[in-house]
Amino acid sequence: MTAKHILSKLVFYILVLFVIVPVLFPLIWIFISSIKTQVDITAYPPKWIFNPTLQNYSRVFKEQNFLQFFYNSTLVGVTAVVFSLLLGLPAAYSIARYKQEKLGLLILVARLMPGIALLLPWYLLFSRLMLVDTYVALILSHMLIGLPIVVWIMTSFFASVPLEIEESARVDGATHQRTFIEIVLPVSTPGIVTSTTLAFLFSWNNFMFSQVLSMEKTKTLPIAVYNFVSYAEVDWGAVMAATVVIIAPAIILTMLFQKYVVRGLTMGAVKG
């Protein structure tokens, strides 16, 4: 019995490896390449043993103004998420409580809308308003990423908050807005964490909007990483280091809020 037991365990963990290795390997290889010299990266067959170096990282920060791009991405992401919450939380509450299905559909369309469909009119309008290459234009565009995520996640979250706890507050004479702020929001913290994390991640990773709406001054990280490839000869070491710099914050955030990210990403397909 024990031998059979061990064997089945072994088979199971081998199957798990079949899932996990292809998922993780490309990311690990990106990291390994980022600490190789250009000679080692372009070596064939691929080198598994080599002298690690940090020169790629120093090139990323010295040759390009990466700290500035890092700051731009963070500023745009954080501000867009804050405003998405300010606009999205009350809207989601109202949609959930008063069953405003048409409003829900409007937000759903915003969530599913391909960015490219808005990019051209935005560019024409923002350039007329002299807002191209400003944080305002970028933040507004990233809010259209964040707001639908907040509303989408929070609507089903608010719908699951039992009406009784609100009603008892109402009986005590509290207004709707006070009930919302003092009773409903505190019990909805997990949902707020979920939508905040996801909205920030999607803003952080967005390439298309910054590609057109930002230039040298407000350039975000995805554009900066892409710029490394446009040189005549690709500096693979720097590209890989830049890739690590941009995905590391996303990965750390995901690790910190793992439970919430899983819930947010699987939401909409699975009930609750």
Q: What distance in Å separates the CA atoms of residue 135 and residue 122, rounded to the nearest whole number? A: 14
Contacts of 40 (CB under 8 A, 6+ apart): 47, 50, 51
Q: Report the C-alpha gap between 52 and 35 in whole angstroms.
A: 5
> Nearest distance from residue 89's CB to another protein, in Å?
9
Closest distance of CB 266 from another protein, Å? 5
In the complex, minimum distance from the CB of residue 217 to another protein, in angstroms, rounded to a whole number: 19
Q: Which is nearer to another protein, 42 or 58 (CB)?
A: 42
Q: Comparing C-alpha atoms, which of 193, 194, 187 is closest to residue 159? A: 187
| Least distance (Å) between residue 37 CB and another protein | 14
**Given the complex with another protein, which of 3 and 255 has the nearer CB atom?**
255
Q: What is the distance, to the nearest Å, from the Cα of residue 188 to the centroid of all Cα atoms in its chain?
A: 21
Q: Which is nearer to another protein, 59 or 90 (CB)?
A: 90
- Residue 35 CB, shortest distance to another protein, in Å, is 14
**Per-position DSSP letters for 108-158, written without gaps between them:** HHHHHS-THHHHHHHHHHHHHTT-TTSHHHHHHHHHHHHHHHHHHHHHHHH
Nearer to another protein, 116 or 165 (CB): 116
Which residue shows structure tokens 């990280």?
Answer: 221
